[in-house]
A and B are shown apart, each in its own frame.
Chain A
Amino acid sequence: MTRWLVSGPPFLFLLVFFLVPSLIMVVASFRYPGEFGALAPIFGTQPGEDSGLTLENYQVFFSDSIYVQIFAKSFGVAALTTLVCLVLAYPVALLIARSPKRHRDLMVLLCVLPFASNFLVRVYAWMIILGPLDLLFSRFAVIVGMVYVHLPFMILPLYTNLEKHDPTLLDAAQDLGANAWDRFWRVTFPLSLPGIFSGSALVFIPVLGMFAIPEILGGKDDWLVGNLIKESFLGTRDWPFGSMLSIMLTIAVLLIAGLAASLARRGMSRA
């Protein structure tokens, strides 16, 4: 009885405003677009009218290589962003983890603070920096913006992992003759793999669906899946096609999340 009083309201709210909309989108991806955009009726009234369910949206996706290419490009941008974030986040996370305990909270706060500013402000900042340098509207600008916006999602999980490392392991490695380079690559780095994998998932997944950064900082060549989805809903108003793209993006995200989770688990058991 108490159980339903407590879990009932949030459950009902999310059922109506999350689960049902998601299911509507799944069904929409198998429907036809309406004459003036949006959706055609499932049960048609006139002969010759497009109605009912169809696989057409998915067939278009796989038959026209441009869509597969844009997905591949999005994966490429997400992978590069993740890699750059990792390279930038590692020294910061390591330095914080190896600093005296009383300084750590402040150093973490200093990493997170810039991200209290609005997302668009952080993107806009790069517009006014890269604009005068003639670097705007390029793939480079897109990557810089993506990295800047997602960096804390890499720093925090990495720091959480590195902070738990036992410093005596490094002493032991040193006593056994390992130099600084070996100590890093053979002790610290392997132990930090779970942190790397969860940070990577937290960066990779949102980058995959991003439309604002390519739109503001990139050129026409830099469109990613997110831009395609946005355009299908608000530009061409082909909802079924946009829904199909959203479903494909969801599948991609689930695959990535599953991969990261299983890698993190394997890294954990090895550590």
Chain B
Amino acid sequence: MRRSPLLWAAALVVYAFLYIPLVVVVIFSFNDSKLSAEWVGFTTDWYRKLFENEEMLAAAVNSLVIAIVAAGLATVLGTMAGIAMHRYRSKILPFMVLTPIAMPEILLGVALLIFFISTFGAESLSLATVIVAHTTFCIGFVAIIVRARLAGMDESIFEAARDLGATPWQTFRLVTLPLIKPGIIAGALMAFTLSIDDFVITFFTAGAGVPTLPLTIYTMIKIAVTPEVNALSTLLMLITLTMIVIASRIAPDAIKGKG
């Protein structure tokens, strides 16, 4: 294998570029100073302030509710879409499932903004609209993972089930479902992570009444940068990291191809 020292050096520089900014965020979340310019001393005050901040806690609850419901809906609909895309030669379903995730996010965000307000009125932006919006783009990710899982499977298993007298529903429940379960779980975790992290689409569909964690970070960054943002960011990193560890335990193959 040809791996010259030059290649190693260049790659290490890029790895450093990837990690240094995040390490800086974590370090300054423990810094005993209002400014993130120099290190003053160690403190956990910013975390304490964060947990005392009621708006922040409300935002965390919103994010969690949205992510759980949207991931649930997207998992059911995405699994169906994945199976349908694998089994039937339709052109329109893949188009509808994949386009929302291939386009810049802002386009889906503003399209849904117009849709919700012109159909249901200016007051309609709420938790429900955010959940619907998140489900719309999460379906595609679940469908891709489930379809990939099905594509690697031997079709004769399903034929065997049919030959042995299983009804379509029995074949699905007793053969297909157990086989694609790791894919479904990986898809659900991915949908959850994408939803809890989403900023752009939430920004257009949330209205004023539904702050989520990313929306709160955005407001904090725009108004005043305090180390509280660093503390919140560090906590968010921990949450996503935990999700990834769980995902890699439950469905190691499905995670690898996630890209």
Chain A residues within 8 Å of B, Cβ to Cβ: 2-3, 6-7, 9-11, 13-15, 17-22, 24-25, 28, 38-39, 88-89, 91-92, 94-95, 98-100, 105, 110-111, 113-114, 116-129, 131-132, 148, 151, 156-157, 167, 170, 180, 205-206, 208-212, 215-216, 226, 229-230, 233-234, 239, 242-243, 246, 249-250, 253, 257
Contact = CB atoms under 8 A, between A and B. Distances in A.
Return the 8 tightest CB-CB contacts between A and B, nearest first. Answer: A209-B104, A125-B21, A21-B115, A91-B10, A7-B84, A10-B81, A121-B233, A21-B111
A11 B93 CA distance: 6
A2 B176 CA distance: 14
B94 to A, nearest CB: 11
- Point out which of A13, A88, A119 has the most chain B C-beta atoms below 10 A from its C-beta: A13
B200 interface: yes
A9 B17 contact: no
Give the interface size class of chain B: 35 or more
A39 B87 CA distance: 42
Given A9-B80, A14-B136, 6 more contacts: A7-B84, A7-B93, A113-B244, A125-B21, A131-B36, A209-B103
B225 A128 contact: yes
Contacts of B241: 113, 116
Nearest to A215: B222
23 contacts: A10-B78, A10-B81, A13-B77, A13-B135, A14-B97, A17-B133, A18-B99, A91-B10, A99-B3, A100-B1, A111-B18, A116-B240, A117-B233, A118-B197, A120-B221, A124-B225, A124-B229, A127-B221, A205-B103, A206-B104, A209-B106, A215-B222, A253-B104
Given A124-B25, A170-B2, A243-B114, A18 B96 contact: yes
B221 A124 contact: yes
A128 B1 contact: no
Interface of B is mostly: helix
Contacts of A132: 36-37
Contact of B84 (A3, A126, A243, A249): A3
A88 B107 CA distance: 29
B22 A117 contact: yes
Contact of A246 (B17, B107, B139): B107
A229 B11 contact: no
Contact of B87 (A6, A95, A119, A230): A6
A229 B110 contact: yes
Contacts of A170: 2
B117 interface: yes
Contacts of A110: 15, 18
Contacts, number: 230
Contacts of B133: 17
B107 A14 contact: no
Interface in B217-231: 217-218, 221-222, 225, 229-230
Interface in B46-87: 76-78, 80-81, 83-84, 87
Contacts of B2: 98, 170, 180
B14 interface: yes
Given A7-B80, A124-B221, A38 B136 contact: no
B105 interface: yes
A35 to B, nearest CB: 14
B66 to A, nearest CB: 14
A106 to B, nearest CB: 11
B118 A233 contact: no
Nearest to B193: A116
A253 B25 CA distance: 34
Contacts of A95: 3, 7-8, 11
Contacts of B99: 18
Contact of B114 (A24, A91, A206, A215): A24
